[in-house]
């Protein structure tokens, strides 16, 4: 069964192919994904790599965690499920903004 790893500290210029190639040193890589910011389309500096076996995943963690990659120190560990977060609201707490602009009558 494939094991998913979290990879933090990625340079913003890193491409998924380079990430896959880096982790291939530890074994068979099933997938490699870099998380992108929805608004800017730029990398968020972290991603996930799926290794084919648990043994290969452990080898990747021991080989690459704390290592420098393209000038940045990597954080590599087993990915945990995303924690539920409370819904986000706008800056004004979700309430209406009142009268904004328009023509003033004197």
Phi and psi torsions of 63, nearest 5°: -75, -40
Q: Evaluate if pTM is beyond 0.85.
A: no
Note down the domain range covering 10.
Answer: 3-78
What are the residues whose beta carbons fall under 8 Å from the beta carbon of 59, sequence distance 6 or more?
Answer: 26, 27
Does residue 97 lie in a domain region? no
Q: Which of 38, 44, 48, 40 is nearest to 16 (CA)?
A: 48
Q: What is the pLDDT of residue 91?
A: 59
Query: The domain spanning residue 60 has which CATH number?
Result: 3.30.70.330
Cα 15–chain centre separation: 13
* Angstrom distance (rounded) from CA 8 to CA 44: 9
Does residue 50 lie in a domain region? yes
What are the residues whose beta carbons fall under 8 Å from the beta carbon of 21, sequence distance 6 or more?
Answer: none
Does residue 86 lie in a domain region? no
| Tens-digit pLDDT profile for residues 82-101 | 777 788 776 555 555 555 66
Structurally, the chain folds into a number of domains equal to: 1
């Amino acid at each position: 069964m494939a094991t998913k790893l979290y990879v933090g500290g990625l340079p913003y210029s890193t491409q998924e192919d380079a990430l896959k190639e880096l982790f291939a040193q530890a074994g068979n890589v099933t997938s490699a994904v870099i998380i992108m910011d929805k608004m800017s389309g730029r990398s968020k500096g972290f991603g996930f790599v799926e290794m084919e076996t648990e043994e290969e995943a452990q080898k990747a963690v021991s080989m690459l965690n704390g290592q420098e990659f393209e000038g940045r120190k990597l954080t590599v560990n087993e990915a945990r499920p995303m924690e539920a977060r409370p819904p986000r609201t706008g800056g004004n707490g979700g309430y209406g903004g009142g009268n904004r602009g328009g023509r003033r009558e004197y």
